[in-house]
Chain A
Amino acid sequence: MKDTDIKRLLYTHLLCIFSIILSIFIPSFFLENFSILETHLTWLCICSVFVTAVNLLLYLVVKPNASSKRSSLSYKVTRFLKCCIYFLMSCFFFHVIFVLYGAPLIELVLETFLFAVILSTFTTVPCLCLLGPNIKAWLRVFSRNGVTSIWENSLQITTISSFIGTWLGAFPIPLDWERPWQMAIERKYKMCTSLYVCTRHGASHCPQVWPISCTLGATFGYVAGLVISPLWIYWNRKQLTYKNH
């Protein structure tokens, strides 16, 4: 394993982090009243688009995995379509998981779905870029002794840390610190005290707070993973021996 590889990894990761930072600041030039907390859903969409774009770009430029043998156009198109379908499926899958974990079933569907989209962006999109629409390869990467390159290793770390961040992001939900991103907004809107249930006057009257802590958690987890994985690989570069190298 060469140090140049690790350097490339670090630069790509820095670019990803940069794209997230851009998604926070750029829209405020074009949109009025834009802020992460107040217009959270817009930010979610923008962030998702930015991160996806950067990931695709990096995939095309860096080409971390060996180029596939066939490169006909039709093959590429089917591959791309397959990737899209996989992405959508993962969004729905995450949505179902969130509902099973206690997210509201009927109310706030859009919020939950966008949360699923952003989590898919942080986890599924890098997988698709690196491994392609190949479930077996995914399963291999996410098992013990399954990684075969530093790219896959970093993919493992960022994905797992995104999940952990999302999970930790659920913890502030019951607290009543009366932060704007939390549920207790009684002073402003008397009818919405619980995060999930804004029933009395319908969900539309409430400022949407539901996925904020979780999406922020996912973002922080993703960023942390991006920072940690090159460092971790650099630290353990002596011990890491990949089977196919």
Chain B
Amino acid sequence: MQKISVLLFLAWVCFLFYAGIALFTSGFLLTRLELTNHSSCQEPPGPGSLPWGSQGKPGACWMASRFSRLVLVLIDALRFDFAQPQPSHSPGEPPVSLPFLGKLNCLQRILEIQPHHARLYQSKADPPTTTMQRLKALTTGSLPTFIDAGSNFASHAIVEDNLIKQLASAGRRVVFMGDDTWKDLFPGAFSQAFFFPSFNVRDLHTVDNGILEHLYPTMDSGEWDMLIAHFLGVDHCGHKYGPHHPEMAKKLSQMDQVIQGLVERLENDTLLVVIGDHGMTMTGDHGGDSELEISAALFLYSPKALFPGAPPEVSRFLHTYSAAAQDLQVKELHRLQTLFNKASADYQRLLQRPQGPEAALQTVITELQQFLRGVRAMCIQSWARFSLGRMAGGAALMAAACFLCLLVSQWATSPGFCFRPLLTLMACGLAGTIVCAGLLTTTGLKLDPVVLGAMAAAGSLLPFLWKAWAGWGSRRPLVALLPIPGPVLLFLLIRFAAFFSDSFVVAEARATPFLLGSLILLLIAQLHWEGKLLPPKLLTIPRLCFSASTGPPRHNGTHALGLGVGLLLCIRLAGLFHRCPEETPACHSSPWLSPLASMVGGRAKNLWYGACVGALVALLAAVRLWLRRYSNLKSPEPSVLFVRWGLPLMALGTAAYWALASGADEAPPRLRALVAGASVVLPRAVAGLAASGLMLLLWRPVTVLVKATTGAPRTRTVLTPFSGPPTSRADLDYVVPQIYRHMQEEFRGRLERTKSQGPLTVAACHLGSVYSAAMVTALTLLAFPLLLLHAERISLVFLLLFLQSFLLLHLLAAGIPITTPGPFTVPWQAVSAWALMATQTFYSMGHQPVFPAIHWHAAFVGFPEGHGSSTWLPALLVGANTFASHLLFAVGCPLLLLWPFLCENQGPRKRWQPLGRNEAEARVRPEEEEEPLMEMRLRDAPHHFNAALLQLSLKYLFVLGIQILACALAASILRRHLMVWKVFAPKFIFEAMGFIVSSVGLFLGIALVMRVDGAVSSWFRQLVLAQQR
């Protein structure tokens, strides 16, 4: 009952946070209104007649067309310098050998030979530079908005007026071939279309070869007015290998041949446009707004000489939009309107006097340009518009939830704590709100689900706040309200404040390890200050009485110091895997983040592969060693068997998959099918194994070995079932016979009754680590599939992750006293360090809280052919990749509570060691009463155990909660900041996602501990039953 109420309460607190986040998000991230109006030939765009009237000419609309046909070649990610002509080298200089330079020779040739027929421009792409946003922008002429960036791979039809629709309605035949994103954007708009799947960024050739198969036949058939060919090879090559790979040179040369072939086939009335939709960074990614990403090439060619210009239709759009949306600033709108009126009047005047001076024309042009810039600026301002009420409400809700966490985590440690009032309060609030919401809906008010959820959350919070308020002044002093010790409070405050500075958010990858390191050193210094680090005899002055104030140290000083230095070293090493934020151009990302497949050198590749497999084996060995150390490996339970045999199998599968993935292109053609098949099967097999392992663990979580011998004399001294003297240290260490005695005492009453039957001695091994063994097993099982989703070399980071959390746990355990019967607590510094470490590992795994830095590769692990139309599976894979560290640390959070108990046996073990010789005496010595019960102490006090779990999770939620609160406050206070869309908004979104993942992980972790607890209880019950028989 208590367990369920803990879980319910946790779920409710999570719900409070979610409601706050949802409310804030709905106010903060607004989308743009899309107009469905369409232009038509009958309504001219501006006042007065057009210069080149369409009257009489066939096929013309507002203006006469200069070219009757168009070939649009869209080469994805064609950066400007890919197409830039290379100056011929002077003989002394070595030629530039970058693989992407100077490969489009035919552009250069045409520009030199026919300068009046061809132009090459550098076009600037509006960020976000993702393909769908760019396609929308290119065909509608509008601005892409922030929210659209999320739906890159699930694009929907464009409802706004656009080029393709206009052409189709004018009766032109538009033929398309290439990227199937167009299919979603313009359903049914093409007279003929050849779509090829675009999502698989590892596949360089399918789309391009498909286009080439159809391009020339279609062109020769002549049944088209506009021919669009969207090549994806260059973009995918960038994603897979980066621009500096020889593969890029091959791809660009292929594109060169394509353009050459098209130029040869062009007829006189046809215009050829070669355009890149965006650029790519040095690593081949895109999505942001760095200079390399927004510079794209635009090349025009026609056998006929090129061109004059035309006035825009922007004013009418603005007018219509302002009427429809009413969110543009009236003053600015008015100013722009007058500017436009003046410009168009000037224009009309100019038209009436065709021989007017050049200067007048220039003024008109500048006025129009001014007008366009003004419109652009205003649109950008307006399409990021906020709803302040919702933002404030969301932030307030989150703050209240944080306060609640603080309050209840404090109640949970107080001696007279019980769970029932928590639940009743919560239930009262929820019920009241549901009734209110029901009344509201019946009265016909339509409410957003977000608002409804927030109302429910706020309503159920109110009783708590009221109770806190009521019990404020009388019983609790003000100091008790802030239970966090000073230094940790300072750390939390620094972390809170750091979210308000864009520099610190950008530098968080460095700032978090700094804070973590400081916290660790502080812990060590504190240990020393308290006198726990060193034995008192080292402190030479005998007059100082240390031993009076503190108990004997459980660890010697070098131990804790070594742990601290090891931790710092691990953190520093993990820092080598950082990816640079875009804002620091001089910073270079770690080269180890790219997959092995992108490496060119064979030898280095093999070495790295060896290192990665080594990391894998080391991780496995470490986990097994740990389990053997606490000897949970001997049990015949299925989950233990799985750890012994399934884990190596998983490691093997992972290693094999890496080998295939990094060398797939070098495989001989005969084996291609096999390799392709294996790269599908292996990751799925590993994931399946992990899932089945977790299932087994949930089914039989108790990993103890039971040795039962009937008929042995039941005396107080015979405690182990070993017949001879224990020969190995292992026998002494692992058998924890006192557990049995403890059990006996617990059930003594029943045993007395059944004394007449044959006595039975049961020795349960390693019952003392049963909880943490299950946790560690679960974490390892979780880590393997997550590891598979990352690039190969990140496996080293996973190894470091396990290592440093192990060291941290040991260090923290040195500072946490065990209060044997009383309430168990996990100190704040432990929880803060744990949360900081989760953030630090997030960065060490090569992530940054910006969208271009997301590892999209993860979606293809196990699905090299893409996912078809489903979007949730790739989203899940990418999410698991991004928030792997959040998940692992959240699930592992209960270890913070368990570990001090686990470390308890270290002290006495040392004492036991020399006693092997005369073990008979040793066994009967009264010291045995102090033999470690380890985690069974927790079981002794189930009420305190549950309270401690609740308190731990609330503390963790509080630490995470103030982070998300700080992000939300920063995003709302600095919403007009220059960096809001670049730094604060993505940080908020990542932090919110991380919070959700963490809270779910935390919930699962707590639930796992409770499951183990339940299983242990039933195990005891079975044992007692067996004895009674």
Query: A interface vs B, CB < 8 Å?
Result: 97, 99-102, 136-137, 139-140, 142-146, 148, 167, 170, 173-176, 191-194, 197-200, 243-244
Given the known A-B contacts A144-B530, A167-B518, are A174 and B506 also in contact in the complex, defined by CB atoms under 8 Å? Answer: yes
- Interface pair A146/B539, CB less than 8 Å apart: yes
Q: Which of B363-415 contact A (CB under 8 A)?
A: none
Q: Taking the nearest CB of chain A, how far is it from the CB of B172, in angstroms?
A: 49
Check if A100 sits within 8 Å of B568, measured CB to CB.
yes
Verify B538–A102 contact, CB threshold 8 A. Answer: no
Complex contacts, B806 vs chain A, CB 8 Å: none
Asked whether, in the complex, the Cβ of B586 is within 8 Å of the Cβ of A194, the reply is yes
Are A175 and B503 in contact, with the CB atoms below 8 A? yes
A/B interface sample: 29 pairs, CB < 8 A: A99-B572, A100-B517, A100-B568, A100-B569, A101-B513, A101-B514, A101-B572, A102-B510, A102-B517, A102-B572, A136-B538, A136-B540, A137-B540, A139-B528, A139-B534, A140-B544, A143-B531, A144-B530, A146-B544, A148-B541, A173-B507, A174-B504, A174-B507, A191-B586, A192-B586, A197-B587, A198-B586, A243-B541, A243-B544
Distance between B568 CB and nearest chain A CB, rounded to angstroms: 4
Q: Which residues of A contact B571 (CB under 8 A)?
A: 100
Residues of the B chain whose Cβ atoms lie less than 8 Å from the Cβ of A244: 541, 543
Q: Chain A residues near B569: list those with CB within 8 A.
A: 100
Task: Tell me which residues across on chain B come within 8 A of A145, comparing CB atoms.
Answer: 544, 546, 549
Q: In the assembly, what is the distance between CA of A146 and CA of B514, in Å?
A: 29
Complex CA–CA separation, A174 to B515 (angstroms): 14
* 10 closest cross-chain pairs (CB), A and B: A174-B507, A100-B568, A193-B586, A174-B503, A194-B586, A175-B503, A140-B539, A194-B587, A100-B572, A194-B584
A residues in contact with B513, CB < 8 Å: 101-102
- A193 near B538 with CB under 8 A, answer no
Shortest beta-carbon distance from A153 to chain B in Å:
15
Q: Is B585 an interface residue (CB 8 A)?
A: yes
A101 contact set on B, CB distance < 8 A:
513-514, 517, 568, 572
* Chain A residues whose C-beta falls within 8 Å of the C-beta of B588 in the assembled complex: 197, 199
Measured in the bound complex, the distance between the Cα atoms of B546 and A167 in whole Å is 30
Interface of A is mostly: loop
Chain A residues near B504 (CB, 8 Å)?
174-175
With beta carbons under 8 angstroms apart, the residue of A102, A136, A148, A197 that contacts B575 is A102
A140/B541 contact (C-beta < 8 A), A100-B572, A198-B586 known: yes
Q: How far apart are the CA atoms of A102 and B569 in the complex, in Å?
A: 10
- B511 close to A (CB within 8 Å): yes
Instruction: Please determine whether B510 and A174 come into contact, CB atoms closer than 8 angstroms.
Output: yes
Q: How far is the CA of A157 from the CA of B954 in the complex (A)?
A: 37
Q: Which of B149-183 contact A (CB under 8 A)?
A: none
Expressed in whole angstroms, the Cα–Cα distance for A142 and B543 within the complex equals: 16
Q: Does B501 interact with chain A (Cβ within 8 Å)? A: yes
Whether A142 lies near B587 (C-beta < 8 A) is no
What is the bound-complex CA distance between A100 and B564, given in angstroms? 11
CB pair A193–B585 under 8 Å, yes or no, is: yes
Residue tally, chain B, CB below 8 Å to A: 35
Residue of B nearest to A172 (CB): B503
CB distance from B489 to the nearest CB of A (A): 16
B586 and A200: CB pair below 8 A? yes
CB distance from B336 to the nearest CB of A (A): 34
Residue B529 interfacial (CB < 8 Å): yes
Considering only CB atoms, which chain A residue lies closest to B572 in the complex? A100
Q: Given the complex of chains A and B, what is the CA–CA distance between A97 and B571 in angstroms? A: 12
Q: Which residues of B contact A197 (CB under 8 A)?
A: 586-588
CB closest residue in chain A, given B538: A136
Bound complex: CA of A194 vs CA of B580, how far in Å? 11
Q: How far is the CB of A63 from chain B (nearest CB, A)?
A: 20
Min CB gap A138→B, angstroms: 11
Query: Given A140-B544, A244-B543: A193 and B584 within 8 A (CB)?
Result: yes
B501 to A, closest residue via Cβ: A175
A142 in contact with B539 (CB, 8 Å): no
Residue among A99, A144, A170 making CB contact with B529, cutoff 8 Å: A144
Distance from A80 Cβ to chain B, minimum over Cβ atoms (Å): 22
Q: Are B510 and A140 in contact (CB under 8 A)?
A: no
In the complex, what distance in Å separates the CA atom of A194 from the CA atom of B531?
41
Residues of chain A within 8 A (CB-CB) of B529 are: 142-144
How far is A144 from B529 in the complex, measured between Cα atoms in Å?
A: 5
Q: How far is the CB of A108 from chain B (nearest CB, A)?
A: 14
A102-B517, A193-B586 known, 7 other contacts, Cβ within 8 Å = A101-B513, A101-B568, A102-B510, A102-B572, A143-B530, A144-B530, A194-B584
Complex alpha-carbon distance, A148 and B541, angstroms = 10
* Distance, CA A244 to CA B540, complexed state (A): 13
Give Cα distance in the complex from A176 to B585, angstroms: 14
Please name all residues of chain A whose beta carbon is closer than 8 Å to the beta carbon of B546 when the two chains form the complex: 145
Residues from 501 to 552 in B contacting A, C-beta threshold 8 Å: 501, 503-504, 506-507, 510-511, 513-514, 517-518, 528-531, 534, 538-541, 543-544, 546, 549
Contacts of A102 in B (CB 8 A): 510, 513-514, 517, 572, 575
List chain A residues, Cβ under 8 A from B572. 99-102
A143 touches B528 (CB 8 A): yes
Looking at B501, B513, B544, the one whose CB has the most chain A CB atoms below 10 A away is: B544
Q: How far is the CB of B979 from chain A (nearest CB, A)?
A: 11
The smallest beta-carbon distance between A97 and chain B, in angstroms, is: 8
Closest beta carbon of chain A to B532's beta carbon, Å: 10
Q: Contacts A101-B517, A192-B586; is A176 near B534 (CB within 8 Å)?
A: no
Of chain A, the residue at the smallest CB distance from B571 is A100
Within 8 A of A (CB), among B541-577: 541, 543-544, 546, 549, 565, 568-569, 571-572, 575
Whether A144 contacts B531 in the complex (CB less than 8 A), given A100-B572, A193-B586, comes out as: yes
A105's closest neighbor in chain B, by CB? B572
A100 to B574 CA separation, bound complex (whole angstroms) = 11
**Bound-state Cα–Cα, A102 to B506, Å:** 16
Q: How far is the CA of A175 from the CA of B538 in the complex (A)?
A: 44
